[in-house]
Amino acid sequence: MPELPEVETIARQLRRRIRGKTIASVRVCWPRTVAGNRAEFNRRLRGMTVARVSRRGKYIGVEGADGTFFTIHLRMTGKLVKDLDSADRRHQRLCFTFADGTKLHFVDARKFGRLRLWPCRGESCPGLGPEPLRSETVRRVLKKLRTNRPVKSVLLDQTVLAGIGNIYADEALFAAGIHPLTPAASLSDAQQWRLASVIPQVLRQAIRRRGTTLRNYRTVADESGENREHLNVYGRAGEPCFVCGAPIGKIRISGRSSHNCPDCQKMRSVTSDK
DNA sequence: AACAGCACCTGTAGGC
DNA sequence: TGCCTACAGGTGCTGT
């Protein structure tokens, strides 16, 4: 479900909601929700006072005053809510009760979401690429790419850049006028600049709109994200491109659906490369 | 080493 | 209505 803008939105709300609170108890309803040693997870979290809530890629980080650190990954359908409605009840996977009596429920229909305890904050999420929120960072990453995998697949690779998912990869490639199948190492300088400039724009714009709700995603305050109405290609297969009117295409790239405008996103001709 | 494919899960939408 | 299939915003393991 959620990509960087959605996770950022949730992390911000969570920060306001739980910072300074002490975890009184943790109830795990679906054991596999907790990755690693569950007993230790329980032991370390009980009594922990939340000092900070952060985000790294699509991970939410929660750090205790004593340095205890765990992450929450929502994967496809995970969400954090303070109250359970009747529909949520059957999908509740874990529940925090705080010392003040308030609760935070982890609800996840597909059971893919994971919470994990780490030795410390600095050792969490190994292998994640840099945050894609500054164009200079993205440009630096794109410039050193030597792979000929499709640029779309590379944008989804969390070890390259952390936080971009299927929606924003498609939207960024459209905004940059780049065909998703373009081999990453063959991007021209101009294409690299364009992509590096639009990725932070697309993500920041979505954060301002509290993310994109397609079906499941809700903020901690149970709001929908407003970015869906601003999508140019994702989920618009067959509908006319807002720029040129051509029908938006949908193809499969390494097992995932990819949306693009066949006219606005042309592949550079191979002969003009060398 | 790099990459494709499938596993993990359940819900929903569409075809018949 | 109901059955069946395909697909869904993510990642991680396995096999080639």
Q: For strand B, give the nucleotides within 7 A of a protein CB.
A: 2-6, 8-12
As a whole number of angstroms, the distance between CA A137 and CA A129 comes to: 10
Which nucleotide does the CA of A32 lie closest to, via C1'? B8
In which band, very low, low, confident or very high, does the pLDDT at A1 lie, cut at 50, 70 and 90?
Answer: low
**Percent helix, percent strand, percent coil in chain A, to nearest 5:** 30, 25, 45
A135 sits in which H/E element: helix A135-143
Angle A252-A212-A80 from CA coordinates, rounded to 5°: 110
Q: Do residues A160 and A138 make contact, with C-beta atoms less than 8 angstroms apart?
A: no
Q: Residue closest to C10, CA→C1'? A: A75
Residue A271 has pLDDT above 70, yes or no: no
Q: Which residues pair with A25 in a beta bridge?
A: A97
Catalytic-residue membership of A140: no
| Distances from the Cα of A257 to the Cα of A2, A23, A152, A184, A206, angstroms | 16, 40, 10, 18, 20
Residue A12 has pLDDT above 60, yes or no: yes
Sheet architecture: strand order including A50-56:
A34-35, A114-118, A69-73, A59-64, A50-56
Which of A44, A55, A56, A58 is labelled catalytic?
A: A58
In which band, very low, low, confident or very high, does the pLDDT at A272 lie, cut at 50, 70 and 90?
Answer: very low
Encoded amino acid at A145, one letter: L
Residue A13 has pLDDT above 90, yes or no: yes
User: In CATH, which of 3.40.50.300, 1.10.8.50, 3.60.20.10, 1.10.3720.10 is domain A135-260?
Assistant: 1.10.8.50
Q: Residue closest to B5, CA→C1'? A: A255
Residue A273 has pLDDT above 70, yes or no: no
Judge if the beta carbon of A110 is closer than 7 A to nucleic acid strand B. yes
Q: Across all residues in chain A, what is the average pLDDT? A: 94
A79 sits in which H/E element: strand A78-81
In which band, very low, low, confident or very high, does the pLDDT at A274 lie, cut at 50, 70 and 90?
Answer: very low
Backbone phi, then psi, for A192, in 5-degree steps? -60, -45
Which nucleotide does the CA of A77 lie closest to, via C1'? C9
Which nucleotide does the CA of A154 lie closest to, via C1'? B3
Give the pTM.
0.95
Judge if the beta carbon of A149 is closer than 7 A to nucleic acid strand B. yes
Catalytic-residue membership of A90: no
| Distances from the Cα of A245 to the Cα of A168, A236, A251, angstroms | 21, 12, 18
In which band, very low, low, confident or very high, does the pLDDT at A69 lie, cut at 50, 70 and 90?
Answer: very high
Residue A189, Cβ neighbours under 10 Å: how many? 10
Average pLDDT over residues A44-55: 98
Which of A15, A17, A256, A268 is labelled catalytic?
A: A256
CA of A161 to C1' of C12 (A): 17
Read off the pLDDT of residues A260-270 as tens digits, 9 standing for 90 and up. 999 999 987 54
Average pLDDT over residues A32-42: 96
Residue A212, Cβ neighbours under 10 Å: how many? 26
CA of A108 to C1' of B9 (A): 10
In which band, very low, low, confident or very high, does the pLDDT at A124 lie, cut at 50, 70 and 90?
Answer: confident
Catalytic-residue membership of A58: yes
Read off the pLDDT of residues A142-177 as tens digits, 9 standing for 90 and up. 999 999 999 999 999 999 999 999 999 999 999 999
CATH number of A4-123: 3.20.190.10
Q: Number of helices (H) and strands (E), helices first, in chain A?
A: 7, 11
Residue A64 has pLDDT above 70, yes or no: yes
For chain A, percent of residues with pLDDT exceeding 90: 90
Average pLDDT over residues A11-21: 97
Judge if the beta carbon of A112 is closer than 7 A to nucleic acid strand B. yes
Q: Residue A155's closest CA among A41, A245, A36, A253?
A: A253
Residue A88 has pLDDT above 60, yes or no: yes
Residue A35, Cβ neighbours under 10 Å: how many? 14
Q: For strand C, give the nucleotides within 7 A of a protein CB.
A: 7-12
Q: Write down the domain spans for chain A.
A: 4-123, 135-260
- Specify the pLDDT at position A220: 92
Judge if the beta carbon of A109 is closer than 7 A to nucleic acid strand B. yes
- Specify the pLDDT at position A87: 87
- Specify the pLDDT at position A270: 44
A108 sits in which H/E element: strand A103-108
